[in-house]
Chains A and B, each alone.
Chain A
């Protein structure tokens, strides 16, 4: 009788609620929004932290990245040819590698603005001149061939490793290995292809555009053949920049060393550079920022969820108290005909739970819709964990229990004689 009596109680609850459709619907709104906010909150929070994890994975959690930044132009001299010299220096690199404690490795990167060609095909990837350590420090995987080696570095070999997109772009039908590509004015042999990993903030994957794709060559080769002057034609005038190093990737020995290393780098750079012609990127700090975003989202949506659920719960309790009063007579009849207190409690509790559960079901639907919309309009990544809707629905049922108990208790403790006399 147990399970069938519960099914009957639910059926009865539904039919009682359907007697007042509009009232029942309005009553469920609070829970509906509460549940929807819970799901949306979890989805956005998860998305933010997944994105942060992803960035960390991309940059290496133990890495501190120093990058040259073109300082704001002083004055606006319209000189035909003007050499602008700024950014990280070889001395910076030496200081970091030699004197800092807690550092495992540091890798310098020089970037050259050369075009890369193969036959008719031309693209403008980031051409990065870097020693062999780069691969292990940035933890990048090889697609085929090999990465640059110490010999390449020592011999200033004319070899290069292509990023996956660049390889696909220049050699759409063939393996790129063993082929020659023309970087700037020099021919280099392709010795490997590296899986791509987009730099932070960059979205494009198209190697024909300036930011897309990467090509790696030995740092020594880069210095010998391309130099540290980067010449670019910009709107008719020659723009010459001199940057010794574009990036220094510093890998700390352990995660806990990262803040110390970052602080040491910052203070050293501040001391050595007159201008702020560099930036320090700490993936761990990015994570902290993402966690902060997640936290703010949680607070905002969590409050909305909490308030909605509270207001919704109170609304449900209010309606159920009215229902109990309205149905005093029915309670009296049931009691006279053999219903125990617990039967009355069950009846009204089930009714409240059906009410809040219905709000919960619709709330789950709305809650799944919100992340979908957020993802499309705000370009925020969202992740709906499978447990989230179940969790949120569970909350709605819990609200039903918490706010249904008092009305049900009131109903069960009515005096049957009084209840029967009630008009």
Chain B
């Protein structure tokens, strides 16, 4: 884990002349749910590669498998079959403990309902992923402080989640997702509970992160939100419907910058 990405912004080569290194490689992923006699394939032979520095909006109708995909990407769920590699690490090879540590070290989660721990204050919530690591990096408190300031909560470090507005809570969640300098930021309907103005502020934060070279996958229903992302991946019935890359959507990309 290095602190460099937070400080030094790495602009993404526009137009995708040379593809950056892969972060998440999924091949032939199937996720089956058995409901008595019936079999539901939430994901059905899904293959795709997300690369470093990309900003994806994942869209699709309800039940198309977006959340299922994000859970698998986030290593909280395991595919029924297929291979998933993060930074070259085959996830299927990790046991439960290793997977937990891996999540805490390499992934950042942002949820629709913020999901902060109510009995912890802002700073403690931001530090949560690091606290479960075997080794706590030097100066992590300073980094948490910096992140809190960055998301505009420098004045509310010791507030409990209940004392914050929805937008503020989501900012805390974003700071929390950044504390471990993750390889992948996963957001499921991150703006779903917020009014449009607050949602806009959050999306601006995502834009900044994208500009810094973070890899972001954002599940959303709203076309408005999707348009602000660099690329859009549309799902249908557990597989890819369309892939829209930034180059094909120059208007949207220009809008975002």
Contact = CB atoms under 8 A, between A and B. Distances in A.
Contact of B100 (A16, A330, A339): A339
Contacts of A333: 111, 115-117
Contacts of A334: 117, 128, 132
B100 A340 contact: yes
Interface residues of B, number: 28
A15 B96 contact: no
Nearest to A19: B119
Nearest to A333: B115
A329 interface: yes
A337 B128 contact: yes
B119 A329 contact: no
B111 to A, nearest CB: 7
B171 interface: no
Contacts of B115: 329, 332-333, 420
B101 interface: yes
A1 B129 CA distance: 15
A420 B76 CA distance: 10
A340 B100 CA distance: 5
B132 A417 contact: no
A365 interface: no
A341 B129 contact: no
Given A12-B119, A420-B76, A420-B115, A338 B136 contact: no
Interface in A296-344: 329-330, 332-343
A334 B133 CA distance: 12
Interface in A3-45: 5, 8, 12, 15-16, 19
Interface string B69-96: 0010010110000000000000000001
A338 B117 contact: no
B37 interface: no
Contacts of A19: 118-119
By secondary structure, the A interface counts as helix
Interface stretch (B1-9, B102-110, B198-206, B233-241): B102-110
Contacts of B96: 340-341
Contacts of B111: 333, 420
B119 A16 contact: yes
Interface string B115-151: 1111110000000110111111000000000000000
B52 interface: no
Contacts of B77: 416-417
Interface in A35-90: none
A339 B134 CA distance: 10
Contacts of A343: 100, 132
Contacts of A336: 74, 76, 103, 109
B40 to A, nearest CB: 14
Contact of B101 (A12, A15, A332, A340): A340
Contacts of B71: 417
A343 B129 CA distance: 12
B119 A337 contact: no
Of A332, A338, A342, chain B has the most CB atoms within 10 Å of the CB of A338
B176 A337 contact: yes
A8 B132 CA distance: 12
Of A15, A337, A339, A343, chain B has the most CB atoms within 10 Å of the CB of A337
A15 B104 contact: no
A338 B132 contact: yes
A332 B111 CA distance: 12
A190 B180 CA distance: 94
Contacts of A417: 71, 76-77
B97 interface: yes
B76 A335 contact: yes
Contacts of B105: 338
A339 B132 contact: yes
A8 B136 CA distance: 14
A16 B176 CA distance: 21
B229 to A, nearest CB: 23
Contacts of A329: 115
Contacts of A337: 103-104, 109, 128-129, 132, 176
Nearest to A341: B96
B75 to A, nearest CB: 9
Contacts of B103: 336-338
A339 B109 CA distance: 14
Contacts of A339: 100, 104, 132
Contacts of A5: 131
A333 B76 CA distance: 10
Given A337-B103, A338-B105, A341-B96, A330 B117 contact: yes
A420 B70 CA distance: 13
Q: Which 3 A-B pairs have the closest CB atoms?
A: A338-B104, A338-B132, A416-B76
20 contacts: A12-B120, A19-B118, A333-B115, A333-B116, A335-B76, A335-B100, A336-B76, A337-B103, A337-B104, A337-B128, A338-B100, A338-B105, A338-B133, A339-B104, A340-B96, A340-B100, A342-B97, A343-B132, A417-B76, A420-B115
